[in-house]
Structure 1
Amino acid sequence: MSDHGNSSRTVTVPTCDHGPVTVREPDWCTGSDREHQPGGYRVDITHASPDYEFTVSTSRGTPVILRVCFEQRPFTERPPGHVPFVNVEMDGDWHPHGSDDLRRLSDTLTTHSDQLRELADRLDDLTNAFDAAKRGTSASAKPEKGRGD
């Protein structure tokens, strides 16, 4: 992905409050009408990259669990300000993240991953106990190898 500073593209967006506004467009910006909506307010001009989707395979398909994109709002007065950031979609809402925020999110997801592994181990224990109860044996009894159970 190219750096914003290398961009030579510009886009002129007609706005209702400042007339035509010409801005330098980052190389990663899709330049779609969603970001450069003619007739909107200058403060609403947004640069956005294509979405990056983080998926997981399940027995029912491959759902998107996180969706992220680079974004920049060159005229906003609200946080995160004029600098590029990563917008992360979680639970149907978008959350702006700086690089430190992304690292904290990554750490949190790693912790959740560890917790899921612990739950998988617990599920193995529960499944083994259930199977043993069905066979009428103790949950701690190991099945004999080669018996075709």
Structure 2
Amino acid sequence: MTSDRPTVVPDRVRTDALRPGDQIRHPHDWTLITVSSVETLDSLGSPLDFHNRETDEMERGLRVTGADAEGEAVHVDCAPSHLWHREGRQVATAPVGNDRPIVAPRPRRNADGTVTVATLDAGTVQLACPTWCFVEHGYTVPPAKAEITHRSEPVWALADTDEHGPTSLVEVSLVQWPFNDHRPQVFLGIETDDGFLELGPSGARRIATALRTHADHIDAMADQLMNLPVGEGQ
């Protein structure tokens, strides 16, 4: 079975390209969501604009609505250009099923450590699944072979502030697209203001060095806040 679709970088899709039935990861807690609708916030009577750092323009927001593995309703308001992690794709010509996504805390590995994935363009594919992978690989809608993704459990820097409560910063995880020509090797994926970066060991260590330096700056500026002259802190 062959496909005339162009090879795409897997696992990343804009909000305005989502379709009902797509399986995506919540940007904050990594919950798997099956999309039911994407609507403009204008149509819902809650207009909200988001700043696009790449274009320096404002974008009218969209609301993504869906359900988690327990059937609980989930909605996320975000920019049309926001990039989501997609683990299953709804094919335009296929009807949206009523079944819930298959979710598990770890891959459903075969006895020999491999996983078996039914793909859109290459039939059934059996492949080795690395020990660090936490993706279940049980897609409700078959992906293209090039879109099969290994990913470690994402890790964030977590902070609990008096002003905003718990917040997460700098999501990182190991990622591999084993059948994708774009980059078949394992890399460190990191979310930044410039988008999703793919880094090898050298680049990852440079990011770590920059974050440590930045942490020192934040500490120094916190000291500066505490020691502002009378009247300047108002």
TM normalised by structure 2 equals 0.46
Which of the pair has more CA radius of gyration? 1
Structure with the higher strand share, 1 or 2:
2
Note if 1:118 corresponds to 2:189.
no
CA displacement, residues 8-62 of structure 1 (integer Å, 9 cap, x when unaligned): 411111112111111100011123247x565221100111111112112211322
Note if 1:105 corresponds to 2:202.
no
**2:170 pairs with one of 66, 76, 81:** 66
Q: Structure 2: any 5+ residue segments left out of the alignment?
A: 1-111
**1:55 pairs with one of 129, 146, 158:** 158
User: In structure 2, the residue corresponding to 1:77 is in which secondary structure?
Assistant: coil
- Aligned residue number for residue 44 of structure 1: 147
Q: Distance in 1 between matches of 2:194 and 2:153?
A: 17
Count of residue pairs the alignment pairs up: 121
- Does the C-alpha gap of structure 1 residues 11 and 33 become closer, same or farther in structure 2, counting only changes over 3 Å? closer
CA displacement, residues 97-141 of structure 1 (integer Å, 9 cap, x when unaligned): 211111111111122122222322322331xx217xxxxxxxxxx
- Aligned residue number for residue 180 of structure 2: 76
Q: Distance in 2 between matches of 1:91 and 1:37?
A: 31
Q: Distance in 2 between matches of 1:92 and 1:57?
A: 25
Q: Which has the higher contact order (CA 8 A, sep 6+)?
A: 2
Q: Distance in 2 between matches of 1:37 and 1:27?
A: 23
Residues 16 and 40 in structure 1, CA contact (< 8 A), matched pair in contact too? yes
Paired-residue identity, %: 29
Residues 12 and 20 in structure 1, CA contact (< 8 A), matched pair in contact too? yes
Q: Structure 1: any 5+ residue segments left out of the alignment?
A: 1-7, 132-149
Residues 13 and 38 in structure 1, CA contact (< 8 A), matched pair in contact too? no
User: In structure 1, the residue corresponding to 2:160 is in which secondary structure?
Assistant: coil
Q: Distance in 1 between matches of 2:156 and 2:224?
A: 30
Structure with the higher helix share, 1 or 2:
1
Indicate the RMSD between aligned Cα atoms, in angstroms: 2.5
Q: Distance in 1 between matches of 2:200 and 2:123?
A: 31
Residues 13 and 37 in structure 1, CA contact (< 8 A), matched pair in contact too? no
